[in-house]
Amino acid sequence: MKDKSEGLGRGLTNYGDRAFSRYLRRSFASSMGYSREMLDRPIVGIADTRSGFNNCHRHFPELIEAVKRGVLAAGALPLVFPTVSLGEVFLSPTSLKFRNLMSMDTEEMIRAQPMDAVVLVGGCDKTVPAQLMGAVSAGLPAVQLVAGPMSTSRYRGERLGACTDCRRFWGRYRAGEVGDDDIRQVEGRLATTAGTCAVMGTASTMAIIAEVLGMMPAGSAAVPAVDAERLRIGEETGRIAAGLIGSDLTPAKIVTERSVENALRVLLAIGGSTNGIIHLTAIAGRVGIRIDLDRLNQLSDTTPVLIDLKPSGQHYMEDLDAAGGVPALLAELRDLLHLDCPTVTGETIGERIEQAPSWVDRSVIRARTEPVTPQGGLVTLFGNLAPRGAILKRSAADPTLFERTGRAVVFTSLADLAQRIDDPALDVQPDDFLVLQHAGPTSEAAMPEAGYLPIPTRLARAGVKDMVRISDARMSGTAFGTIVLHVTPDAASGGPLGLVRDGDRIRLSVAERRLELLVPEEELERRRQSAPAASRPVARGYDRLYQEQILQADEGCDFRFLQAPSLAGGG
């Protein structure tokens, strides 16, 4: 029997007899009704992340059928396989904890099963970075296909889209401006279609980053989930994947220092999610690229925000698609980008820009001469409170709070926050800094999107809309406010954030990129010496692996042993 190293002949199960292994595999594949002609074809695997716990992916059956059409039309055999699915709001304690598990599942299933290329079908926040991390490590030609954003809805004439509007209405509810009946009606109108959040949240950010890295077809990031064009993109993705069979154009050839810098530029220009920097750092780490947060500041100083989308602006992802999409944005940033970076479609980023639409809606995609803001959406802060950095999404913050010294009001855990934030007796004033500890990657909380600390009810009802909030947690890309996140190292690992006490003075200076705890070093050392030893419950299974291997935010919160060997000694 002829032995083939592609298709069903790839990666044969070892019974000590290769001919028998192939014969047995083909006999079992035949039981699924495939003809011999089909079984002789090369295989494109399709990683399917649909789940009853993932509302964003409920249209995947139809989308995957479109991918299969494209694969078959190109002469290959499509085989769908499931992986872990991460539905953002359905996971406890947080989806980030399981991103690395999904990346391992994706990597190992790509490597273990007989496929010659793979289409990664994801969308909801952590699924796309997990798939890209796994695919980069697996080393097989791969193409990303995203769910696409939800379409917006209406409530009493007001346009709604998850989830910036959900936070806006919840803030009004806490302030007493919206009643119980109204909030229930809004709840039913925020997310009414398949797809990911309609604003520049983490899912939208990662879709755009995947396109800019070159891992998706041009113009595919912003097309709505319910649009027929999304199905045509699925079909085209299948064709592209089949065309990559036998090629050495693997994700590791596409994710390079230059393409990562392009992605950072665009992350800043779109007012993207703070989660984007964690995920891009993790993806880059799989090929040995370390993202320098000082370099992020340099890029931010020379990269304007050009996308007018919530929470940094007024529009939604469906508007970005109609305005010209990512290609139109790249055209506006042309002189700031590395144009020679390759893509899965065989063209360079520069060649994609040459094909960008000639008409652009400048109310959504601004010209460089009329930016939303003249500098990038994210900035890194350093200082004795954040020796390895902290992130502020300044494009969604209140500039009047950027140069402040405030009194710390400290919450030692998420439980403490929940118990005391609305206590009428809480000693808090509008100029204070709310500080949350023990919510970072090494804590039991596993770095949830809890950095968007609520304004205490007493202040919210007095009209306070924003306060400086500092934590080692994350926040949703859909959130807004003057919120300092990812303080590194985190409190649970012994970082200085854990030494802050009520009444301490903290200085924030965005202009100077500083975050300083104004407490003498001798006092901080005394607090270090008197701090109780950290203790964690005895863990098993994935919890144990997480505890032993999780890295800090500036290293992408990846597992140490999953990084490229050149970075694996970090920590």
Residue 410: strand pairing partners? 435
Q: Which pLDDT tens digit goes with each residue over 322-357?
A: 999 999 999 999 999 999 999 999 999 999 999 999
In a domain, 95, yes or no: yes
Q: What is the CATH number of the domain that holds 456?
A: 3.50.30.80
Domain identity same for 342 and 396 = no
Same-domain status, 140 and 236: yes
Give the number of other Cβ atoms within 10 Å of residue 561's Cβ. Answer: 9
For the segment 10-39, the average pLDDT, to the nearest whole number, is: 95
Please tell me the predicted confidence (pLDDT) of residue 571: 44
- Residue 391's domain comprises 378-534
Residue 55 lies in a domain: yes
200 and 242 belong to one structural domain = yes
Q: How far apart are the first and last CA of the chain?
A: 51
pLDDT at 24 over 60: yes
Regarding whether 421 and 304 lie in a shared domain, the answer is: no
> Binning pLDDT at 50, 70 and 90, where does residue 537 land?
confident
- Token pair recorded at residue 167: 């936070």
Residue 117 lies in a domain: yes
What's the average model confidence in pLDDT over 456-465?
96
Close Cβ partners of 553 (under 8 Å, ≥ 6 residues apart): 278, 389, 391, 440, 441, 447, 472, 486, 488, 490
- Give CA–CA dist 347/351, Å, rounded: 6
Say yes or no: 290 and 209 in one domain.
Answer: yes
CA distances from 244 to 31, 145, 233, 238, 312 (A): 28, 15, 16, 10, 38
Residue 554 lies in a domain: no
Least confident range of 161-165, 371-375, 548-552:
161-165
Can you read off the two tokens belonging to residue 536? 């964690």
Q: How far apart are CA 223 and CA 5, in angstroms?
A: 37
Residues 168, 205: one domain?
A: no
Give me the percent of the chain exceeding a pLDDT of 70.
99
Query: Do 146 and 245 share a structural domain?
Result: yes
Do 392 and 280 share a structural domain? no
Cα–Cα distance measured from residue 563 to residue 146, given in angstroms and rounded to the nearest whole number: 24
pLDDT value for 570: 47
- Provide the 10 A C-beta neighbour count for residue 346: 12
343 shares a domain with 398: no
What whole-number distance in Å separates Cα of residue 281 and Cα of residue 558?
A: 9
Give the C-alpha separation, 457 to 210, whole Å. Answer: 39
Domain boundary among 187, 202, 233: 187
Confidence of residue 569 (pLDDT cuts 50, 70, 90): low
Q: Which of 293, 319, 354 is the last residue of a domain?
A: 354
What was the pLDDT predicted at 502? 98
Measured at the CA of 472, the angle between CA 466 and CA 474, to 5 degrees, comes to 65
Please give the DSSP secondary-structure letter assigned to residue 410.
E
Query: Do 147 and 159 reside in the same domain of the chain?
Result: no
Cis peptide before 141 (omega within 30 of 0): no
Q: Of 68-77, 116-125, 161-170, where does mean pLDDT reach its minimum?
A: 161-170
State how many domains the chain has: 3
In a domain, 19, yes or no: no
Question: Residue 384 burial by CB count (10 A; 0-12/13-18/19+): exposed, middle or buried?
Answer: middle
Mean pLDDT score of the chain, rounded to an integer? 96
β-bridge pairing 514-517 and 505-509:
antiparallel
Q: Which of 68, 83, 81 minimizes the C-alpha distance to 126?
A: 83
3-state secondary structure 422-478: CCCCCCCCCCCEEEECCCCCCCCCCCCCCCCCCCCHHHHCCCCCCCEEEECCCCCCC
Domain match, 421 and 471 both: yes
61: left (phi over 0), alpha (psi -120 to 50) or beta: alpha
Interval 354-402: pLDDT, tens: 999 999 999 999 999 999 999 999 999 999 999 999 999 999 999 999 9
> What's the rounded Cα separation, in Å, for the pair 128 and 120?
8
Query: Is residue 274 located within the same domain as residue 407?
Result: no
**How do beta strands 433-436 and 468-471 pair?**
parallel
β partners of residue 483: 469
- Asked whether residue 139 is assigned to any structural domain, the reply reads yes
Per DSSP bridges, beta strands 142-146 and 403-411 are unpaired
Mean pLDDT (whole number) for 22-47: 96
For residue 510, being part of any structural domain is answered with yes
Instruction: For 476-530, write each residue's pLDDT tens digit.
Output: 998 999 999 999 999 999 999 999 999 999 999 999 999 999 999 999 999 999 9
> Is 232 a domain residue?
yes
Q: Which of the four pLDDT bands, split at 50, 70 and 90, describes residue 568?
A: low
pLDDT confidence of residue 2: 45
